[in-house]
Structure formats: C-alpha cells, structure tokens
Amino acid sequence: MFTADRTLTLKNVLLATGVVLTLAMGVRHGFGFWMQPISQANGWTRETYSLAQAMQNLMWGAFGPFAGMAADRFGTMRVVLVGAISYMLGLVWMATITHPTLFVLGSGVFIGLGLACTAFGAVSGIIGRVAPPEKRSWAFGISGAASSFGQFMMMPIEQQLISAVGWQNAFYILGALLVLLMVPMAFYLREPAVEHAHGPQQSIREAASEALGNRSFLFLVAGYFVCGFQVVFIGVHLPAYLRDQGIGNPSVAVLALALIGLFNIFGSYYAGKLGGRFPKRYLLSTIYFSRSVVISLFLLAPLAPMSVYLFAAAMGVLWLSTVPLTNGIIAGVFGVKHMSMLAGIVFFSHQLGSFLGVWLGGYLYSTQGSYNMVWGIAIALGVMSGLINLPINERPLARTQAA
C-alpha cells in the first residue's frame, strides 16, 4: 500500500489534483461549442459529433477502473502523465481528422483515456491515502469544487478562443495548455514505493469481488447511474430545450451552464464538509430527492430567462455534490488501498447513465418531438436513487484476514 511521506502533503495533493481536475473537467464541459463549426466544416450532421461525445463518455467509464488500478498499483503521477498526453492527442485528433468513423473512434479512445486518467477516479485514491479520516470527506469536496471551477472558468475561455483563433487552433492551444500545466502538477503526486505489510494482502481481484458482492456498494453503483443520466442529459440538451420553448437567445443557455459550474463549487465543497459530520447516505438521498423536486418545479413554472437561471443555480448546488459523498463512503467502508479502482468501477456506472441520458434524449426527441418523456424519466430516477441510497451501510468492513 502506498504511504505518504513528508513531501506528499495534503496541501500539495489538493493543489496538484485541483489544477488537473480544473483543466480536465473544464475543457470537457466546453466541447459543445465545437459541434456547429466542426459539423459545418466537414459537412456532417450533428449526429456524428454527438456520437463522438457519447463515445467519449462511454470510453471514459470503460477505462476508469483500469486507470484506477494503475493509480493504486503504480502511483497517481504516472497515470496523470499518461492522461495528459492522451488528452492532448485527442484534441489534436479532433482538430485534424475529417473521416467521421475515425473521428468518433479516435476521439472516443484518446479523450476517454485522458479523462479516465485525470478525472475523479484516478486522483481519488491519492486524496484518500493522504487525507486523515476526519478530513477525507472535506478533501473530496475540495476536489469536486475544483472540477466545478473548471467548468465555470474554462467555458468562456473556450468560446473566446474559437472566436479569436478558429476552432482548430483552439484545440491546439488547449492541448498545449493541458500538457504544460498537467505534467508539472503530476510530479507533486509522486508516491513512495509500495510497502508490503506482514500477513495476507488483498489482491485487486479480491478487492473487486468483495465490493461487487457488497449490497451497499451496489446501491452506490445504481445511484451513480442516475447521477450520470441526469447531469449529462441536462448539460447536453438544455440549450436545445430552451430553443424549442421559445428562448432563442444562446447567451441564456451559456450563462445557465456557467451558473451550474459556479454554484457547484459551493455544492461540492459543502457536501464534502457536511459528509464529515452527518451520515453520507442521508445526504446522498437528499441530493437525489432534491434534484427531482427542482426539475419538477422548473417544468411547472412559467419559462423565462430568470426561471432558467434559478433552475441552473439550484441544479448547480446538486450537480457534482454526489462525488465527495460517494468517494467518502467507498473509502470509509473498503479502505484506501484500492480506492481508485473501486471509484472507477462506480464511475463506470455513472458513464453508462451519461451515455443513456444523452442518447435517449436525442432518440425520444426525434421520435416524439419533445423532451417530456426524458424529463419524466429523470424525475422518476431521482426518486428511485434517493430511496436506494437510504439503506447503505457506512460501517467499515470487518475483514477476517490479519491486519
């Protein structure tokens, strides 16, 4: 198991992972700005670019458990370095490839691997290993806030880059920025060599089997699926929904998405902070129930720019506040030795939900001409997830093997 030394302080880890998460999540949240220019330049329908985005989410989830295994076994530094290079290659690929199939597959693999190695799952392990138990939930909240700050900060930057230098050069600049900033931060995440304690050691297979056979872990997996379905459906389809409802000013949608990122800074931070004081399962249930209430009120209220902004602010508070609580439960129940891998398994479920949310939104709209059914599914899933999280057992597992 990795153990922290004097140079691997919680402050340095939070700073380095904060920069990595800000860039990884910030760049990813702005990909919607490239849909129109890329589709027009290559003569594609929007379906091609949408499929590429869905593939990126799916591959991100598929690579997640393996990136987590590598981070737990070989150290977070190496995984982040691989992720930074892969992410940069993915941006260059999107800027240069004009064949639709190659564009979808290549960007899915490169961007998916890049995100798997630089986002929550890969860095959660080192945070859990360095943070003392009483500060662990708070530390996860800080990392969640950093990713939300990235969404708030990077979206206007990416929009301005496309306007100033063109969509292709914007990809090149962002790729260079990722490498120039992520690579130095990775070296702050250098972990000491593995120390083997006396007695039996839990293998990767044993850890995965133990978690997948645990009812509380499966509840977390199911809840995270709902989280992915809701946030990606809203993030991708909200601008189109607003246009359909007569709000044609694109600045309303841009500001709404930025508000989600801004308010999620506070939501993630305080979710982590409260998770150190109250049962995390109750906080998770409250978040999912609250999402269903907020969505219902948004659909029932008269639609206007102000109601959109209020909806975005409320959803922002609830957006990624599930992350520190979910990771906190994993660390508390199963320990931190295989933390990144287990977080990656749970996040894979999140990405399956993301894929279904973005695809089902488009499919049902094309067949029914509205988003009404998808909104209804999102509300029902929120209620279901709120109920699923209530019986989670947060007590650490009592293993029979020697300590």
Q: How confident is the model at residue 134 (pLDDT cuts 50, 70, 90)?
A: confident
Distance CA 47, CA 39 (A): 9
Instruction: Give backbone dihedrals phi and psi of 193, rounded to 5 degrees, phi first.
Output: -65, 155
Structure confidence at residue 248 as a pLDDT band (50, 70, 90)? confident
Pull the structure tokens for residue 297: 């009120």
Cα–Cα distance, 144 to 21 (Å, whole number): 8
Nearest-angstrom CA–CA distance, 49 and 32: 9
Residue 307, class by beta-carbon neighbours within 10 Å (0-12 exposed, 13-18 middle, 19+ buried)?
A: middle
Percent of the chain beyond pLDDT 70? 94
In degrees, rounded to 5, the angle at the alpha carbon of residue 192 between the alpha carbons of residues 129 and 121 is 40
Which candidate, 140, 385, 132, places its Cα nearest to that of 274? 140
Q: Percent helix, strand and coil across the chain, each rounded to 5?
A: 80, 0, 20
Quickly count: other Cβ atoms within 10 Å of residue 295's Cβ: 20
pLDDT digits (tens, 9 = 90+) for 171-189: 999 999 999 999 999 999 9
Residues with Cβ within 8 Å of 127's Cβ and at least 6 positions away in sequence, in order, are 13, 14, 17, 136, 139, 140, 143, 327
276 pLDDT more than 50? yes
Q: Is 1 helix (H, G, I), strand (E, B) or coil?
A: coil
For the cut 50, the answer to whether the pLDDT of residue 198 exceeds it is no
Look at the block and give the residue holding tokens 């293998």: 203
Q: How many CA atoms lie within 13 A of 29 on its CB side?
A: 29
How would residue 136 be classed by pLDDT, with cut points 50, 70 and 90?
confident
What per-residue confidence (pLDDT) applies to 254? 79
Q: How far apart are CA 267 and CA 300, in angstroms?
A: 24
**Which two three-digit tokens encode residue 46?**
């929007």
The three-point CA angle 270-273-275 to 5° equals: 110
User: In one letter, which amino acid is 13?
Assistant: V
pLDDT band at 115 (very low <50, low <70, confident <90, very high): very high
Q: What is the pLDDT of residues 313-345, one digit of tens each?
A: 999 999 888 988 988 898 888 888 888 888 888
**Segment 51-68, tens digit of pLDDT:** 888 888 889 988 988 888
Rg (CA), the chain: 20
pLDDT of amino acid 170: 94
What global pTM score does this model have? 0.78
What domains sit in the chain, N to C, each tagged with a CATH number?
A: 7-191 (1.20.1250.20), 204-396 (1.20.1250.20)
The mean pLDDT of 220-243, rounded to a whole number, is 88
**Tokens 């409250």 label which residue?**
286
pLDDT-derived band at 46 (thresholds 50, 70, 90) equals: low
Q: Specify the range with the lowest mean pLDDT, choosing from 66-75, 110-119, 385-394.
A: 66-75
CA distance linking residue 129 with residue 9, whole number of Å: 11
Distance between CA atoms of 165 and 398, rounded to whole angstroms? 58
